[in-house]
Amino acid sequence: MSETSNQPRSTFYNSASTPIGSNLSRQRTLSSSSIDPYEDPVVGLERVTQTQVRRRPRRNDISEAVEGRRDIEEDHALSSKFESLNYEICENQLYRDAESKSGHQLNLRRIQLNRWIACFLIGICTALAGIVIDILVHTSADFKFHYILQTLVDRCDNGEAIAGGGCMWLVQLAWMAYNCSMVFLAACLVIFWSPIAAGSGIPQIKCFLNGIHIPEVVGLKTLVVKVFGVSAAVAGGLCAGKEGPMIHSGGAIGAGISQGKLHKKLDPGFFKEFRNDREKRDFVSAGAAAGVAAAFGSPIGGVLFAIEEGASFWNQALTWRMFFSAMISSFTLNATLTYYFKQGGLLSWNGLANFGVFEDKSYTIWEIPLFLMVGVIGGCTGALFNSLNYRISEFRKKFVSNKWQRLVEALLVAAVSAFTGFVTLFVVDDCVPLGLGMNRTEGLNRLYCKKGEYSAVANLFFANPEESVKSLFHSPIGSFKPTTLLIFAIEYFVLSVWTFGLAVPSGVFIPALLTGAAWGRLFGLGVEWLFPNVAGIDPGKYALMGAAAQLGGVVRMTISLTAIILEATKDMTFGLPIMLVLMIAKWVGDFFSEGLYDLCIELSEVPLLGWNAPKMARNITASKVMRSDLVAMEKRVRVGRVVEILAATSHHAFPLVDRIDESDTSRLPDYGRLEGYILRTQLVALLKKRAFVGEGEEGLMGEMMSEQDFIDVDLREEKVEMGAADEMAMMDLAPYMHSHPHRVPLNASLPFIYRLFRGLGLRYLMVVNEDNRLRGIITRKDVARFKNTKGFALRELFISDHQF
């Protein structure tokens, strides 16, 4: 009996969890009738019928029941990997009754206060993460420059001629060895411990805030790997920034602190009221804002970032808390680093990326067209960056999938990066007299140059990237030769294209800024050469514009990026040209390709909901979008039936109807009027607390549950013991169900549905017919399937299982 009923269950599961029509080609232009799942249900579908359910399950079925069938889950991992977050409040009787309790108002105030406390802690901790990264990178750089290189260079100095480069192989080898070992560390952390921590982290945070839960994306492990991994990657001389990972770390800290625990085993029980998707998402956005604030010393930019790139569901109170987190984070980092580096008692504006102050802050009106040209170039090079990186990522996905291959690739990039620097240093002869941009030489700067001179190439390749950006912005006019800038820009561009997407935590902000600053300065030198008689042309200004243009062309942010750059350069004067440059770069870039983060997300096949509903979708109705092969229950339901359904499906919500007609077994059941829905976690909590009464008994259904009982239900962990007699007991779901879920009629259009999902952060939407009878359910993923192609045509995606 259990064998016979197992068979249909797994079949049922298959049909339920596979996106409808996945047997069709993976992506195709939408045609009318064949994808209507309601009118044309999947052929041969077998269902869990009442008769099948009335059996005694084996004891070990229960853990299966809680989690869904694990073996099947691995075949169709999509639903477990990219689950949606639920921003909707479950308005059930418990929720309504809470208001009449005596302590309710006090409780609301306490929760409000706790929100601010949590945001304060998020700010502090994000700053601490930034401080750790900064100090680690600085310590490593000190060690590398002073103890390894200085010693070796000094030894070479004593023995052989400097310019000859006889023992330079030793320096080079030591340098490469150090870099590779650092990158090895970073890559091992990522590959063997937390693969999700690879890359920038911004796409992941963006997805999270959009409402998609990528497993472990905001976990403690990810945070640790991110912080130490990015320190090692930057210390290892990769073309990698620490800013993206800082933002991801901030998000992880936001999630961790708001849940009152960083791991399920370390749970002091704080902030229990925030343990739901809704609150968690809000705190992650505060964390992301704090991350930007720490990375760039830019609280306004952080808030704008969270709004522009992230927080889909935004409100004023949340903005204030984000702002508070960002402010605290920026302040803490500022004060601590001021103290650590003993820069005196004055707190001036700071951040991890600090691009110095421009001396000459003016520009003339005829420079604006030149700035716009810089924007156009930035848009083009940014688009080139994106499409090259996309191809490399695709290649990587196919051919560098193995863990060891990924490790070797990371080491290869580290070695090539170091090698390129040395080769350039050897080939390009750009020795600049001391006093021009630099006052003393250390380590590599002296190599290949006469006394009293330093190497501009070494200054670019071997310094801290932030310092290189600073010197490109502020060095006087003769500091860099055009050839040096050109070669550097090209090499750095290629290296950073290759680096982004490696199995190490690495951001793209600083590499893009540095590349852009190099070609921007080159552009400035060109302008100066063309107009030799016009005073006041500062190549540093063009370096700033180039940096903005390149970064804008890559990431396609406008308003938040403007704020970030303005705050990082501590100055408002260039606000207008920077805005223009970013806008032009975005327009030009959008003409060629999508933004880097969007491409990442596309590659990972995450069901992201964009800002606007797809075009040409007005005639797609709810009946075409919905899934009609749903599983509903009645409000009073037998425990055995619930266990059966939980085991047989992986759905996370079950609509409740007043009547289920399963008389015609060749078709899907005919459901009655919609009365509400209940979540899988709630059902599991009810079973766990045994909130049911034996057959025939009436009255109160077991003990009434409290709100606390529904918190912390981890579907992967729970084990529920269920005896044979319990199977026949009855549960009353009415007090726990959301009694007035959002619903649309069958003729509602896709844009209409889209606005509901976007505007309210829904996970489920019920579809009813003209009599309010349940006809289907629309999930976030069903909506995200519809995308526009470049030429406005609508296509329907089927999301396959793929690692982020």
Scanning residues 593 to 622, which ones bind a copy of itself (CB under 8 A)?
611-612, 615-616, 618-619, 622
When asked if residue 792 is in the footprint of a copy of itself (CB under 8 A), the reply is: yes
The pattern of x and - marking residues 318 through 337 that bind a copy of itself according to CB under 8 A reads: -xx--xx--x--xx--xx--
User: Minimum CB separation from a copy of itself for residue 39, in Å?
Assistant: 18
Identity of the residue, 356 or 482, whose beta carbon is nearer to a copy of itself in the bound complex: 356
Q: Which of 489, 768, 777, 778 binds a copy of itself (CB under 8 A)?
A: 768
When asked if residue 739 is in the footprint of a copy of itself (CB under 8 A), the reply is: yes
When asked if residue 770 is in the footprint of a copy of itself (CB under 8 A), the reply is: yes
Q: How far is CA 196 from CA 79, 189, 501, 508, 720, in A?
A: 17, 11, 12, 17, 31
Q: Which of 178, 355, 358, 363 binds a copy of itself (CB under 8 A)?
A: 363
Across 450-473, b (16+ Cβ under 10 Å) vs e yields eeebbbbbbbbbbbebbebbbbbb
* Matching residue, tokens 């650590």: 340
When asked if residue 307 is in the footprint of a copy of itself (CB under 8 A), the reply is: yes
Which of the stretches 205-213, 372-380, 723-731, 747-755 binds a copy of itself when contact is defined by CB under 8 A?
747-755
User: Minimum CB separation from a copy of itself for residue 129, in Å?
Assistant: 19
Identity of the residue, 3 or 99, whose beta carbon is nearer to a copy of itself in the bound complex: 99
When asked if residue 32 is in the footprint of a copy of itself (CB under 8 A), the reply is: no
Report which secondary-structure segment, H or E, holds 97.
helix 93-98
User: Minimum CB separation from a copy of itself for residue 770, in Å?
Assistant: 5
Identity of the residue, 161 or 335, whose beta carbon is nearer to a copy of itself in the bound complex: 335
When asked if residue 572 is in the footprint of a copy of itself (CB under 8 A), the reply is: yes
Residues near 630 by beta carbon (within 8 Å), at least 6 away in sequence: 651, 655, 774, 776, 777
Tokens linked to 555: 């990431």
User: Minimum CB separation from a copy of itself for residue 546, in Å?
Assistant: 20
Residues near 69 by beta carbon (within 8 Å), at least 6 away in sequence: 9, 10, 13, 647, 648, 650
Judged by CB under 8 A, the chain residues 577 through 596 that form the site for a copy of itself are: 579-580, 583
When asked if residue 795 is in the footprint of a copy of itself (CB under 8 A), the reply is: no
- Tell me the HSE value of 261 on the side-chain side, using a 13 A CA sphere: 13
- CA triplet 444, 447, 450: central angle to 5 degrees? 135
User: Minimum CB separation from a copy of itself for residue 575, in Å?
Assistant: 6
User: Minimum CB separation from a copy of itself for residue 315, in Å?
Assistant: 6
Tokens linked to 324: 């508070």
Q: How far is C-alpha 752 from the chain's CA centre? A: 27
Exposed (0-12), middle (13-18) or buried (19+): which is 1, by Cβ within 10 Å? exposed
When asked if residue 563 is in the footprint of a copy of itself (CB under 8 A), the reply is: yes
Q: Which of 316, 439, 533, 666 binds a copy of itself (CB under 8 A)?
A: 316
Judged by CB under 8 A, the chain residues 95 through 114 that form the site for a copy of itself are: 95-96, 98-100, 104-105, 108
Using CB under 8 A as the binding criterion, the count of chain residues that bind a copy of itself stands at 84
When asked if residue 419 is in the footprint of a copy of itself (CB under 8 A), the reply is: no
Q: Which of 315, 533, 663, 666 binds a copy of itself (CB under 8 A)?
A: 315
When asked if residue 706 is in the footprint of a copy of itself (CB under 8 A), the reply is: no
Which of the stretches 13-21, 158-166, 566-574, 640-648 binds a copy of itself when contact is defined by CB under 8 A?
566-574
User: Minimum CB separation from a copy of itself for residue 628, in Å?
Assistant: 18
Tokens linked to 737: 């169900």
Which of the stretches 59-67, 213-221, 261-269, 748-756 binds a copy of itself when contact is defined by CB under 8 A?
748-756
User: Minimum CB separation from a copy of itself for residue 804, in Å?
Assistant: 23
Judged by CB under 8 A, the chain residues 538 through 557 that form the site for a copy of itself are: none
Q: Which of 27, 75, 89, 402 binds a copy of itself (CB under 8 A)?
A: 89
Judged by CB under 8 A, the chain residues 645 through 684 that form the site for a copy of itself are: 658, 673, 675
Exposed (0-12), middle (13-18) or buried (19+): which is 622, by Cβ within 10 Å? buried
Q: Which of 195, 482, 735, 745 binds a copy of itself (CB under 8 A)?
A: 745
Backbone φ and ψ for 714, nearest 5 degrees, come out as -100, 110
When asked if residue 117 is in the footprint of a copy of itself (CB under 8 A), the reply is: no
User: Minimum CB separation from a copy of itself for residue 347, in Å?
Assistant: 6
Give the C-alpha separation, 451 to 608, whole Å. 58
Q: Which of 73, 308, 528, 801 binds a copy of itself (CB under 8 A)?
A: 308
Q: Where are the beta strands (DSSP E) in 387-459?
A: 431-433, 453-455
Computed over its alpha carbons, how large is the radius of gyration of the chain? 30
Backbone φ and ψ for 738, nearest 5 degrees, come out as -75, 115
3-state secondary structure (DSSP) of residue 669: coil
Give the C-alpha separation, 130 to 453, whole Å. 35
Length of the chain: 804
User: Minimum CB separation from a copy of itself for residue 749, in Å?
Assistant: 6
User: Minimum CB separation from a copy of itself for residue 802, in Å?
Assistant: 26
Q: Which of 51, 364, 706, 708 binds a copy of itself (CB under 8 A)?
A: 364
User: Minimum CB separation from a copy of itself for residue 568, in Å?
Assistant: 9
Tokens linked to 148: 């390894």
Task: Report the DSSP pairing between strands 660-661 and 670-671.
Answer: antiparallel
Cα-based torsion angle of the residue sequence 635, 638, 641, 642 in order, rounded to the nearest 10 degrees: 60
- Tell me the HSE value of 303 on the side-chain side, using a 13 A CA sphere: 19
When asked if residue 408 is in the footprint of a copy of itself (CB under 8 A), the reply is: no
Contact 569, 361 (CB under 8 A): no
Residues near 601 by beta carbon (within 8 Å), at least 6 away in sequence: 203, 206, 207, 608
Q: Which of 151, 362, 708, 789 binds a copy of itself (CB under 8 A)?
A: 362
Report the candidate in 608, 569, 613, 380 with the shortest Cα–Cα distance to residue 472: 569
When asked if residue 184 is in the footprint of a copy of itself (CB under 8 A), the reply is: no
When asked if residue 347 is in the footprint of a copy of itself (CB under 8 A), the reply is: yes
User: Minimum CB separation from a copy of itself for residue 757, in Å?
Assistant: 10
Q: Which of 163, 427, 530, 760 binds a copy of itself (CB under 8 A)?
A: 760
Report the candidate in 727, 719, 724 with the shortest Cα–Cα distance to residue 640: 727
Identity of the residue, 27 or 612, whose beta carbon is nearer to a copy of itself in the bound complex: 612
Across 317-351, b (16+ Cβ under 10 Å) vs e yields ebbebbbbbbbbbbbbbbebbbeeeeeeeeeeebb
When asked if residue 278 is in the footprint of a copy of itself (CB under 8 A), the reply is: no
Which of the stretches 442-450, 501-509, 647-655, 743-751 binds a copy of itself when contact is defined by CB under 8 A?
743-751
User: Minimum CB separation from a copy of itself for residue 291, in Å?
Assistant: 17
User: Minimum CB separation from a copy of itself for residue 94, in Å?
Assistant: 11
Q: Which of 273, 486, 772, 787 binds a copy of itself (CB under 8 A)?
A: 772
Give the C-alpha separation, 634 to 461, whole Å. 68
Q: Which of 102, 346, 666, 696 binds a copy of itself (CB under 8 A)?
A: 346
When asked if residue 576 is in the footprint of a copy of itself (CB under 8 A), the reply is: yes
User: Minimum CB separation from a copy of itself for residue 143, in Å?
Assistant: 30
Q: Which of 194, 200, 484, 562 binds a copy of itself (CB under 8 A)?
A: 562
Say what angle helices 575-592 and 539-555 make with each other, to 10 degrees. Answer: 40
Give the C-alpha separation, 319 to 310, whole Å. 12
When asked if residue 343 is in the footprint of a copy of itself (CB under 8 A), the reply is: no
Give the C-alpha separation, 546 to 493, whole Å. 13
Q: Which of 72, 162, 559, 693 binds a copy of itself (CB under 8 A)?
A: 559
